[in-house]
């Protein structure tokens, strides 16, 4: 166990309270579990956090009651959070907590609440406000909100940066070790198993996603699942893996060559390497995410590989392995964020040529005042 730094949960909650004031809301019902974890540190497979201006309630069921109480007791800044025990259903208990709050405008996370749950909860709150006159509060409404917690999460605080930096350092060590796992005659599955075991040994609580090992022609499938294919000399093998370190996800890809690299693969590799470097160089505060994507895409397009690069250049990292900011082409229905110091995301251009194979190179970067810090540290041509 490493000693934990004091966690800035109170700053995160303050951010939400300011956002509530801006939106004229009395409270926010946080149902997306990574957001619950962000605001109070609770990690369970179920739980709801209700953040009001003067009170904050964590709803948990029997399975997590002891863990929740000891979490709140162990962090002085969390001591003001009340625990509400769920006995029958989360929604019944949630309706009670919302009625007790006496609130009239209650935000919910629109991206994370199914319509049937929204309708049920709205009905319960309306029914609850129809009690005896003297106990009846103002009639409460649920108000859909967007990205209220995500807006805070996109800029990492010092505690998060420390964890991501340490996670990236450990993941880089796993990558260097993984080079030795790739040998002719071994299957993709065997290599993936070795990587997963190395992640555990390195202190990761779990892989951040299903490890990708794609040998030879499989490398042309960006999200290939490892199978029984045997690695052969002359092939490139895409290794894409990530780990969760103290709740935070890091993610890395290298394309390892077995034996000499054939000329067609060498050409693709060189182009992806230049695209990766160009994107890293483009990262600094004030730049649009789409401009970083364009830096990588321009290189690959000039090399005749524009159509072979069919995904975005990167994705944010944090409590989730794919979060904001999205580093991709401008799209009408997607935000194109302006990069700011404290953002952490991947840079992972790739080129996929059916019949020949694929190359992807992925590192994790932190935006700093004058550019970016590359958190992962592994030779490009591992
Ligand atoms: Zn990856
Ligand atoms: Zn990635």
CA of residue 95 to ligand 2 center, whole Å: 39
Q: Is the pLDDT of residue 364 over 50?
A: yes
| Distance between CA atoms of residues 111 and 102, nearest Å | 25
The mean-pLDDT minimum among 57-61, 71-75, 289-293 falls in 71-75
Residue recorded with tokens 């002719």 = 184
Q: Is the pLDDT of residue 4 over 60?
A: no
Mean pLDDT, the chain, rounded, equals 94
Query: What local confidence, expressed as pLDDT, does residue 317 receive?
Result: 98
**In 10 A of CB 298, how many CB atoms?**
15
Instruction: Give residues whose Cβ lies within 5 Å of ion ligand 2.
Output: 251, 346
Q: Report pLDDT digits (tens) over 232-255.
A: 999 999 999 999 999 999 999 999
Query: What local confidence, expressed as pLDDT, does residue 156 receive?
Result: 98
**1: pLDDT confidence band, cut at 50, 70 and 90?**
very low
CB neighbour list of residue 221: distance below 8 Å, 6 or more residues apart: 214, 352, 358
Ligand closest in space to the Cα of 243: 1
DSSP H/E element including 160? helix 158-178
| Distance between CA atoms of residues 70 and 108, nearest Å | 27
Ligand closest in space to the Cα of 239: 1
CA of residue 200 to ligand 2 center, whole Å: 19
Ligand closest in space to the Cα of 317: 2
Ligand closest in space to the Cα of 321: 2
Ligand closest in space to the Cα of 171: 1
Ligand closest in space to the Cα of 212: 1
Burial class (CB within 10 angstroms; exposed 0-12, middle 13-18, buried 19+) of 21: exposed
The CA–CA distances, whole Å, from 311 to 209, 317, 348 equal 18, 17, 9
CB 136 within 8 A of CB 128: no
Query: What local confidence, expressed as pLDDT, does residue 223 receive?
Result: 83
Query: What local confidence, expressed as pLDDT, does residue 307 receive?
Result: 97
Q: Report pLDDT digits (tens) over 20-49.
A: 999 999 999 999 999 999 999 999 999 999
| Distance between CA atoms of residues 92 and 88, nearest Å | 7
CA of residue 223 to ligand 2 center, whole Å: 10
Query: What local confidence, expressed as pLDDT, does residue 138 receive?
Result: 58
Ligand closest in space to the Cα of 253: 1
Q: Is the pLDDT of residue 52 over 80?
A: yes
| Distance between CA atoms of residues 368 and 374, nearest Å | 10
- Interhelix angle 9-22/33-40, rounded to 10 degrees, is 120
| Distance between CA atoms of residues 253 and 232, nearest Å | 20
Q: Is the pLDDT of residue 199 over 80?
A: yes
Percent of the chain with pLDDT over 90: 89
Q: Is the pLDDT of residue 2 over 70?
A: no
**In 10 A of CB 42, how many CB atoms?**
22
Ligand closest in space to the Cα of 322: 2
**In 10 A of CB 223, how many CB atoms?**
10
Tell me how long the chain is.
Answer: 382
**134: pLDDT confidence band, cut at 50, 70 and 90?**
low
Diameter over CA atoms, the chain = 82
**In 10 A of CB 2, how many CB atoms?**
9
CA of residue 255 to ligand 2 center, whole Å: 14
CA of residue 40 to ligand 2 center, whole Å: 27
**In 10 A of CB 341, how many CB atoms?**
16
CA of residue 275 to ligand 1 center, whole Å: 16
């Amino acid at each position: 166990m490493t000693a934990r730094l004091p966690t800035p949960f109170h700053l995160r909650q303050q951010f939400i309270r300011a956002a509530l004031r801006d939106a004229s809301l009395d409270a926010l019902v946080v149902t997306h579990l990574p957001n619950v974890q962000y605001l109070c540190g609770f990690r369970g497979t179920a739980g709801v956090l209700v953040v009001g201006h003067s009170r904050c309630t964590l709803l948990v069921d029997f399975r997590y009651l002891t863990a929740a109480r000891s979490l709140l007791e162990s962090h002085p800044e969390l001591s003001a959070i009340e625990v509400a025990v769920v006995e029958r259903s989360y929604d019944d208990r949630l309706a009670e907590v919302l009625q007790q709050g006496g609130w009239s405008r209650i935000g919910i996370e629109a991206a994370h609440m199914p319509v049937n749950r929204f309708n049920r909860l709205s009905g319960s709150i309306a029914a609850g406000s129809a009690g005896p006159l003297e106990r009846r509060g103002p009639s409460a409404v649920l108000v859909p909100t967007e990205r209220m917690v995500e807006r805070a999460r996109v800029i990492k605080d010092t505690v998060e940066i420390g964890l991501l930096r340490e996670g990236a350092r450990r993941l880089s060590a796993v990558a260097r070790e993984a080079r030795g796992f790739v040998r002719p005659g071994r299957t993709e599955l065997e290599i993936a198993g070795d990587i997963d075991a190395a992640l555990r040994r390195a202190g990761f609580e779990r892989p951040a996603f299903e490890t990708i090992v794609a040998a030879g022609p499989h490398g042309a499938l960006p999200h290939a699942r490892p199978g029984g294919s045997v690695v052969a000399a002359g092939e490139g093998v895409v290794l894409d893996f990530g780990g969760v370190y103290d709740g935070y996800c890091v993610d890395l890809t290298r394309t390892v060559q077995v034996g000499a690299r054939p000329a067609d693969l060498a050409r693709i590799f060189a182009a992806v390497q230049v695209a990766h470097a160009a994107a890293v160089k483009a990262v600094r505060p004030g730049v649009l995410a789409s401009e970083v994507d364009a830096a990588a895409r321009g290189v690959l397009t000039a090399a005749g590989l524009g159509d072979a690069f069919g995904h975005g250049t990167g994705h944010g990292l944090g409590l989730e392995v794919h979060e904001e900011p999205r580093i991709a082409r401008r799209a009408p229905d997607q935000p194109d964020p302006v990069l700011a110091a404290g953002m952490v995301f991947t840079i992972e251009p790739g080129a996929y040529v059916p019949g020949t194979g694929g190359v992807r190179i992925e590192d994790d970067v932190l935006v700093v005042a004058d550019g970016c810090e590359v958190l992962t540290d592994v030779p490009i041509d591992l």
